[in-house]
C-alpha cells in the first residue's frame, strides 16, 4: 500500500511537469523548422502530449483504488482526494495545445465521454474521503475548475472538428421563393398575356459568410497592426477553403485585385498572419477562451484557484499531513495558478485580442507583432542522399515488421531546412501574380492552377522532347522524376554551390520502386559519394526508355530521370529557369491535390 502511495506521488509530479512543459513549449511547434534541435523538441512535445492524458487518467484510477481499500493508511485520505481534482484539471490540458494533428479534433466525442468518466472518478474519490475531510471546500473548488478546463478542451476539439467547422462557414440554407406563390404569379402573367419579360427577384442569402470589402491599400511600409486586421478579415473569408467551400465570384475577384497591388513581402506576411489564426482555431483553445463567456470562465477559475490556495494554507496544519504531501500540494496549487497566469498573459498578447483592441498605432503592440508566426524555412529532402546512406539492415526478417516506422524516422531525421527563401518567395509571388493577372475568368484561373509544368515547358525550345515527363506520368511520379533529374544536373555543374535558385522542398516524395532501384544501382557500383553517384547516373547510356525494356510492372522512374537530366543539359543556361518555373507549377498542382484529399 505504501508503494502504491508513492506511485501516486510520483505520477502526480510527472503530470505536473508535463503540464509545465506543454504550457512553456507547445507553442514552439507553430514556429519550428527542420533543424535537429527542432526535430527533437517536436518529438518531446508529441510524447508529452500523448503521455499527459494517460498519466492523469491512470493516477485518478489509482487514487480511487487506494481510497476504496479498507487496509489503506488513515489520516491522509482528504489530501489524496484533493489530488484527484488536480488531475482532472491536468486532463483539461494547456490552452496552447488541444490537438497535435487535425485528426485529433475528430475524437471530441471520446473526450466528452472521458470528461464524464474522469469527473465521476474524481467525485468518487471525494466521496470515499468525505468523513472528517477538512479539505472538502478547496477540493470542490479545484474540482469545479477541473470540470471547466476539461470542458473547454472538449468544446475546442468539437469546434475544430470537420463537421462543426464546416457548418460555421457554410451559408444558411436558402430554399428560394415560395413555390406556390411563384406559380400563381407566373400563371397570372401568362393568363393576361403580358409581353414583357418578368423576372422573379430572389431574396438575398442570409448566410453567415459575408463578402468583405477588400478595399485595403497596402505597401511595403504598412505597419503590422494594419496587416493583422486585414489578415483577420482574410481568415474569416477564406477559412471555408479548408473544407472545400467555393468562394463567391465577388470575393474571388476582389481579393485577386488587391493581392495584385501588393508586394511579395507584404503578401507573405498577410498569409503568415492568416495561417496563424487558422492554427490557433484548429489546435488550441483560442476559439473557446477568446469570447466573453470564455473570459468570464477564465476569471472564475483563476479566482477559485487562489481561494483554494488560501484555504489550504489556513486549514492545513503542519503536523496534520506529511511534509512531503503538503509540499506536493503547494506545488500543485502554485503550479496551477502560475500556469494559469502564463496562459492569461499569452492570451492577452495573442493576435485575437490585438485585433479586438487595436484602434491606433502603439509601439508596444508593434513590438509584440514582430514575433514569428512560422519557422521561416522550407523543408528539403534528397532521395539520392537517402539511398547512399541506406544500410543493409533488412537481412533480419524480424526488422521487416518495423520497416515502415524505421523508414519514416530516417526520412524525418535526414530532412533538412533552408532559411534563405526570400528570393524564392518573391519568385513564387511574382509567378502567381503574373498568372492571376492573365486569368480573366474562373475557368482561366482553374486551368492555370491545374497545370503540372506544361506552361513552363511550353516556353522552352525543347518542349516536344520534354513534354513526356508530364503527359506520361501522374503527379507524384512526375515530381519524383524531376527531383532526381534536378539533383543530377545540379551536381554535374562545375560549381554546384553557385546555383541557389532551385527549391528542393518538392523533392520529398516516396516511390518505393525508385528507391529500391536506386539503392540496387548504387550498391552494384559500390558508390558512396554523392557527387560521383550523380555523375554515374548522368553518364548512363539510355538508348531506350525503361518502360520499353522492363515492362510496366516496375514503377521506378530512376532511369527516366537520367534521360531527363541529359535532355535538360542541352538547354544550357535555360535549364535553371525551366526547372524553377516547373516546380512553381508543380507547387500549385500540389496544393490542389492536397485540397482534394
- pLDDT band for 107, please (50, 70, 90 cuts): very high
Average the pLDDT over 497-510 and give the result. Answer: 41
Contact 304, 141 (CB under 8 A): yes
SS (H, E, C) 404-421: HHHHHHHHHHHCEEECCC
Domain residues for the domain of 220 are 212-287+350-376
Q: Is the pLDDT at 298 greater than 80, yes or no? A: yes
- Report which secondary-structure segment, H or E, holds 478: helix 475-491
Contact 271, 262 (CB under 8 A): no
Q: Is the pLDDT at 143 greater than 90, yes or no? A: yes
**Exposed e or buried b for every residue in 211-232, given b needs 16+ CB within 10 A?**
ebebebebeeebebbebbbbbb
| Residue 557 DSSP code | -
* Sequence-distant (≥ 6) Cβ neighbours of residue 96 within 8 angstroms: 22, 23, 26, 27, 284, 343, 346
438 and 342 share a domain?
no
Q: Which of 163-172, 293-302, 344-353 has the lowest mean pLDDT?
A: 163-172
370 and 456 share a domain?
no
Contact 145, 304 (CB under 8 A): yes
Q: Which of 109-113, 219-223, 394-398, 477-481 has the lowest mean pLDDT?
A: 394-398
The answer to the question of residue 201 being in a domain is no
| CA distances to 47, 222, 228, 439, 500 from 218, in Å | 43, 6, 12, 22, 30
Residue 135: alpha-carbon gap to chain centroid: 43
- Beta bridge partners, 418, equal 378
245 and 295 share a domain?
no
Cα 213 from Cα 344, distance rounded (Å): 33
Model pLDDT, residue 195: 45
510 and 551 share a domain?
yes
Average the pLDDT over 168-184 and give the result. Answer: 69
| Residue 572 DSSP code | T
Longest dimension (CA), the chain: 100
Model pLDDT, residue 357: 67
Contact 246, 215 (CB under 8 A): no
Which range of 343-352, 382-391, 570-579 scores highest in mean pLDDT? It is 343-352
| CA distances to 55, 93, 345, 528, 567 from 340, in Å | 20, 11, 9, 54, 62
Q: Crossing angle for the helix pair 77-92 and 136-160, nearest 10 degrees?
A: 20
- Average pLDDT score over the chain: 77
Q: What are the E-state strand segments in 378-499? A: 378-380, 416-418
Q: Which of 84-93, 153-162, 169-178, 450-459 has the lowest mean pLDDT?
A: 169-178
The answer to the question of residue 205 being in a domain is no
The more confidently predicted of residues 542 and 17 is 17
Exposure of 239 in the CB half-sphere (CA atoms within 13 A): 28
- Other Cβ atoms closer than 10 A to 492: 16
- Beta bridge partners, 417, equal 379
52 and 147 share a domain?
yes
461 and 548 share a domain?
yes
- pLDDT band for 348, please (50, 70, 90 cuts): confident
The answer to the question of residue 110 being in a domain is yes
Cα 43 from Cα 55, distance rounded (Å): 18
Cα 194 from Cα 181, distance rounded (Å): 18
- pLDDT band for 549, please (50, 70, 90 cuts): low
44 and 60 share a domain?
yes
How many degrees, rounded to 5, is the angle at CA 33 between CA 31 and CA 35?
A: 140
297 and 418 share a domain?
no
331 and 419 share a domain?
no
| CA distances to 103, 223, 263, 312 from 584, in Å | 29, 29, 18, 62
Q: Is the pLDDT at 118 greater than 90, yes or no? A: yes
- Which value, in Å, is the radius of gyration of the alpha carbons in the chain? 31
Cα 560 from Cα 549, distance rounded (Å): 12
Model pLDDT, residue 462: 74
Final residue of a structural domain among 331, 348, 365: 348
Average the pLDDT over 445-456 and give the result. Answer: 72
Residue 417 φ then ψ, to 5°: -135, 150
110 and 147 share a domain?
yes
- pLDDT band for 523, please (50, 70, 90 cuts): low
Block residue for cell numbers 490542389: 592
Cell of 469: 515527363
The answer to the question of residue 172 being in a domain is no
Which range of 43-52, 308-317, 544-553 scores highest in mean pLDDT? It is 43-52
Model pLDDT, residue 527: 65
Cα 534 from Cα 390, distance rounded (Å): 16
Contact 559, 459 (CB under 8 A): no
356 and 340 share a domain?
no
Contact 207, 170 (CB under 8 A): yes
The answer to the question of residue 165 being in a domain is no
Q: Is the pLDDT at 34 greater than 80, yes or no? A: no
If one counts the domains in the chain, the total is: 3
The more confidently predicted of residues 492 and 210 is 492
Q: Is the pLDDT at 556 greater than 60, yes or no? A: yes
The answer to the question of residue 192 being in a domain is no
Cα 32 from Cα 24, distance rounded (Å): 14
Q: Is the pLDDT at 95 greater than 60, yes or no? A: yes
Final residue of a structural domain among 376, 391, 425: 376
- Other Cβ atoms closer than 10 A to 494: 5
- Beta bridge partners, 416, equal 380
Cα 129 from Cα 405, distance rounded (Å): 46
Q: How does DSSP assign 259-295, residue by residue?
A: HTTS-HHHHHHHHHHHHHHHHHHHHSSHHHHSSHHHH
- Beta bridge partners, 378, equal 418
Model pLDDT, residue 22: 94
Model pLDDT, residue 209: 43
Find the length of the chain.
597
**Per-residue pLDDT tens digits for 181-227:** 777 777 777 766 544 444 444 434 434 444 445 555 665 556 777 88
φ/ψ region of 103 (left if φ > 0, alpha if ψ in -120 to 50, else beta) reads: alpha
Q: Is the pLDDT at 39 greater than 80, yes or no? A: no
Average the pLDDT over 42-59 and give the result. Answer: 93
**Per-residue pLDDT tens digits for 246-296:** 777 777 778 888 888 888 888 888 888 888 888 899 999 988 988 889 989
Cell of 174: 436558402
- pLDDT band for 469, please (50, 70, 90 cuts): confident
The more confidently predicted of residues 514 and 358 is 358
The answer to the question of residue 66 being in a domain is yes
Model pLDDT, residue 509: 33
Model pLDDT, residue 203: 39
Cα 591 from Cα 596, distance rounded (Å): 9
The answer to the question of residue 14 being in a domain is yes
Nearest to 125 by CA among 146, 110, 139: 139
3-state helix, strand, coil in the chain (%, to 5): 70, 0, 30
| CA distances to 58, 92, 334 from 53, in Å | 9, 9, 21
Q: Is the pLDDT at 495 greater than 70, yes or no? A: no
* Sequence-distant (≥ 6) Cβ neighbours of residue 436 within 8 angstroms: 256, 259, 260, 445, 448
* Sequence-distant (≥ 6) Cβ neighbours of residue 417 within 8 angstroms: 33, 34, 35, 375, 377, 378, 379, 380
Q: Is the pLDDT at 56 greater than 70, yes or no? A: yes
pLDDT over 70, % of the chain:
71
Contact 125, 84 (CB under 8 A): yes
440 and 304 share a domain?
no
**Per-residue pLDDT tens digits for 351-361:** 777 776 665 55
Amino acid at each position: 500500500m505504501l508503494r502504491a502511495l508513492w506511485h501516486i506521488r510520483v505520477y502526480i509530479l510527472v503530470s505536473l511537469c508535463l503540464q509545465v512543459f506543454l504550457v512553456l513549449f507547445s507553442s514552439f511547434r507553430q514556429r519550428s523548422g527542420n533543424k535537429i534541435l527542432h526535430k527533437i523538441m517536436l518529438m518531446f512535445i508529441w510524447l508529452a502530449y500523448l503521455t499527459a492524458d494517460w498519466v492523469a487518467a491512470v493516477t485518478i484510477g489509482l487514487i480511487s483504488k487506494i481510497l476504496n481499500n479498507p487496509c489503506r493508511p488513515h489520516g491522509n485520505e482528504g489530501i489524496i482526494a484533493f489530488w484527484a481534482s488536480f488531475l482532472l484539471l491536468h486532463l483539461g490540458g494547456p490552452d496552447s495545445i488541444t490537438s497535435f494533428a487535425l485528426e485529433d479534433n475528430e475524437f471530441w466525442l471520446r473526450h466528452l465521454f472521458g470528461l464524464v468518466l474522469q469527473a465521476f472518478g474524481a467525485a468518487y474519490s471525494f466521496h470515499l474521503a468525505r468523513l472528517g475531510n477538512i479539505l472538502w471546500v478547496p477540493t470542490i473548488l479545484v474540482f469545479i475548475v477541473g470540470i471547466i478546463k476539461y470542458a473547454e478542451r472538449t468544446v475546442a476539439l468539437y469546434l475544430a472538428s470537420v463537421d462543426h467547422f464546416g457548418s460555421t462557414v457554410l451559408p444558411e440554407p436558402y430554399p428560394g421563393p415560395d413555390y406556390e406563390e411563384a406559380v400563381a404569379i407566373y400563371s397570372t402573367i401568362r393568363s393576361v398575356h403580358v409581353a414583357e419579360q418578368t423576372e422573379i427577384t430572389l431574396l438575398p442569402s442570409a448566410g453567415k459568410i459575408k463578402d468583405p470589402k477588400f478595399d485595403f491599400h497596402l505597401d511595403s511600409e504598412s505597419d503590422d497592426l494594419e496587416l493583422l486586421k486585414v489578415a483577420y478579415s482574410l481568415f474569416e473569408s477564406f477559412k471555408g477553403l479548408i473544407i472545400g467551400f467555393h468562394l463567391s465570384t465577388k470575393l474571388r475577384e476582389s481579393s485577386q485585385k488587391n493581392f495584385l497591388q501588393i508586394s511579395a513581402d507584404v503578401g507573405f506576411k498577410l498569409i503568415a498572419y492568416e495561417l496563424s489564426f487558422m492554427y490557433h482555431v484548429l489546435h488550441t483553445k483560442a476559439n473557446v477562451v477568446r469570447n466573453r463567456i470564455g473570459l468570464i470562465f477564465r476569471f472564475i477559475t483563476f479566482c477559485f484557484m487562489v481561494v483554494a490556495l488560501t484555504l489550504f494554507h489556513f486549514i492545513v496544519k503542519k503536523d496534520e499531513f506529511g511534509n512531503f504531501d503538503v509540499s506536493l500540494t503547494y506545488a500543485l496549487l502554485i503550479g496551477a495558478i502560475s500556469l494559469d497566469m502564463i496562459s492569461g498573459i499569452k492570451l492577452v498578447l495573442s493576435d485575437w485580442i490585438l485585433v479586438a483592441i487595436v484602434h491606433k498605432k502603439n509601439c508596444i503592440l508593434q513590438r509584440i507583432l514582430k514575433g514569428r508566426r512560422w519557422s521561416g524555412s522550407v523543408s528539403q529532402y534528397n532521395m539520392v542522399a537517402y539511398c547512399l546512406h541506406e544500410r543493409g539492415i533488412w537481412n533480419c526478417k524480424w526488422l521487416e515488421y518495423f520497416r515502415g516506422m524505421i523508414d519514416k524516422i530516417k526520412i524525418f531525421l535526414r530532412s533538412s531546412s533552408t532559411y534563405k527563401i526570400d528570393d524564392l518567395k518573391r519568385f513564387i509571388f511574382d509567378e502567381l501574380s503574373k498568372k492571376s493577372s492573365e486569368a480573366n475568368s474562373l475557368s482561366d484561373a482553374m486551368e492555370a492552377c491545374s497545370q503540372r509544368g506544361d506552361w513552363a515547358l511550353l516556353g522552352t525550345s525543347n518542349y516536344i522532347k520534354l513534354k513526356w515527363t508530364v503527359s506520361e506520368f501522374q503527379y507524384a511520379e512526375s515530381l519524383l522524376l524531376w527531383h532526381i533529374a534536378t539533383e543530377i544536373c545540379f551536381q554535374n555543374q562545375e560549381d554546384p554551390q553557385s546555383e541557389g535558385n532551385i527549391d528542393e522542398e518538392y523533392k520529398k516524395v516516396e516511390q518505393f520502386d525508385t528507391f529500391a532501384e536506386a539503392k540496387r544501382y548504387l550498391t552494384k557500383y559500390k558508390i558512396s559519394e554523392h557527387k560521383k553517384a550523380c555523375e554515374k547516373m548522368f553518364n548512363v547510356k539510355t538508348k531506350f526508355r525503361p518502360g520499353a525494356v522492363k515492362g510496366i510492372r516496375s514503377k521506378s522512374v530512376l532511369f527516366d530521370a537520367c534521360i531527363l537530366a541529359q535532355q535538360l543539359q542541352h538547354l544550357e543556361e535555360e535549364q535553371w529557369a525551366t526547372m524553377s518555373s516547373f516546380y512553381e507549377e508543380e507547387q500549385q498542382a500540389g496544393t490542389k491535390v492536397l485540397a482534394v484529399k
